[in-house]
Structure 1
Amino acid sequence: MSSQSVRYLILPGWQGSPDEHWQSHWQRILPNATRVEQADWDSPDQASWIAKLERQVSAQPTPVILIAHSLGCVTVARWAAQAPLSSLRRVRGALLVAPADVERANCPEALRGFAPIAKQLLPFPSKLVGSDNDPAASAARALELAWAWGSEAAILSGAGHINVKSGHQRWEQGFAYLYRLQQQIEELARRRA
């Protein structure tokens, strides 16, 4: 898949992705990458986050690949469950990293408005990358979400929430998952041709 023929939409989670976060690094180096900027990163509102994602997807002149982290993953799932078919057709795939389990008992109050998590199959290829020691979602919960969304799953050992705090500033290894997703998208396109 030519990087010129696709736009990458970066979807940070709660509190955004600071400059040293891997999503910010990827945004700087991936061609045609744009961040879905939310009005309020600290007090997220599900309806406005979904509406902002819809506006950005529908405004893209080229196909998009979504790159979501944490609450961004939950936003993608809810958006996909209700988005117009014309918007869904623009999305070629999604890389879902460290999804936040907003249904867990110790979920921060600011995120509870995103529950329940949409559990419909995503209508595009997706890869979910979780961790066996992520405080935002256990490995078992990440696998459960991957199964519900129809995502191919990878559970990393000791990677935490795959963010700055867990030592993932550039997360160069993550590009392997993006590359595999793009290979899957290309294979699907060949089969449909």
Structure 2
Amino acid sequence: MRNESIRYLIVPGWQGSPDDHWQTHWQNSLPNGARVEQADWQMPRREDWVGELQRTIAADSSPVILIAHSLGCVTVAHWAQLAPLQTLRQVRGALLVAPADVERSNCPPPLRNFAPIPTHLLPFPSQVVSSDNDAAVSTLRALELARDWGSEVGILSGAGHINVTSGHHRWDQGFAYLYRLQNRIEQHARRSA
């Protein structure tokens, strides 16, 4: 991976990631940072979001690491089920932060069309990071999603939804999870070589 020019692709969740969200800070600080821009952040449609993720990845032939938050994590899981092999091969790994459980009873109505959440193994290394007090996903459900997707998992204590509301603006400690994922990607590449 060190000799490749990796594109870090930010995949925001419902309502997007504002200027003071850690995803925006990361996009501006990581080399080759880019963002999936959805047409409608308020009333997301699964087909539209998955399609835009596909178009954004395919628009550039460089390898990609996905950095998703909340509904963006579920979008990645849906995309991975449907994506053409050529595009799947571009994705080296995914950091999936605070995945939203769109199957929970109190899920906001605009997100329900993303259910059911795919339970297939992701075809690339992945890292789920969640919190033990996230209103969008229980700890048990985050662990289930990580298991289903074949992801390593980290559960933070008292970090809420890992967004601006929970005080995560720059979220510099999150880079440790990205570096851990990148090490797994490199190990995976060496084994595959």
1:192 Cα deviation from its structure 2 partner: 1.5
Aligned CA distance change for structure 1 residues 153 and 3 (closer, same or farther; 3 Å): farther
Q: Which amino acid aligns with 1:132?
A: D
SS at the partner of 1:24? helix
Give the conservation status (yes or no) of the 8 Å contact 1:26–1:170.
yes
Task: Give the C-alpha shift of residue 133 in structure 1.
Answer: 0.1
Deviation of residue 5 (structure 1)? 1.3
> How far off is 1:61 after superposition?
2.2
TM-score (norm 1): 0.98
Q: Distance in 2 between matches of 1:3 and 1:15?
A: 35
Secondary structure of the residue aligned to 1:19 is coil
Name the residue aligned to 1:186.
Answer: 186
Contact 2:73–2:97 (CA under 8 A) maintained in structure 1: yes
Partner of 2:30: 30
Contact (CA 8 Å) 2:4, 2:63: kept in 1 or not?
no
Partner of 2:177: 177
Query: Given the superposition, is the C-alpha separation of residues 7 and 73 from structure 1 closer, same or farther in structure 2, using an over 3 Å criterion?
Result: same
Partner in structure 2 of residue 135 of structure 1 = 135
Q: CA deviation at 1:110?
A: 0.7
Take 1:176 and 1:40, find their aligned partners in 2: how far apart are those partners? Answer: 31
- Distance apart, 1:4 and its partner CA: 6.0
Instruction: State the match for 1:40 in structure 2.
Output: 40
Q: Which consecutive segments of 4 or more residues in structure 1 shift more than 6 A?
A: none
**What's the counterpart of residue 144 of structure 1?**
144
**CA root-mean-square deviation:** 1.0
Distance 1:181 1:119 in 2: 20
Q: Deviations over 1:38-91 (max 9, x none)?
A: 000011010000000001111222100000000000000000011111110000
What letter corresponds to residue 151 of structure 1 in structure 2? S
Structure-to-structure mapping, 1:89-168, within 5 angstroms: 89-168=89-168
Question: Mapping of 1:34-113 within 5 angstroms?
Answer: 34-113=34-113
The offset of 1:3, in angstroms, is 8.3
Task: Give the distance between the partners of 1:3 and 1:78, measured in 2 at CA.
Answer: 30
Letter in 2 for 1:153: V
Q: Tell me if the contact between 1:3 and 1:32 (Cα under 8 Å) persists in the aligned partners.
A: no
Cα distance, 1:11 vs. partner? 0.3
Residue number in structure 2 paired with 1:18:
18
Is the 8 Å Cα contact of residues 8 and 66 (structure 2) preserved in structure 1? yes
Distance 1:139 1:53 in 2: 27
**1:100 aligned partner, one-letter code:** A
Q: Distance in 1 between matches of 2:109 and 2:128?
A: 24
More displaced stretch, 2-11 vs 180-189: 2-11
Segments of 5+ residues of structure 1 without an aligned counterpart are none
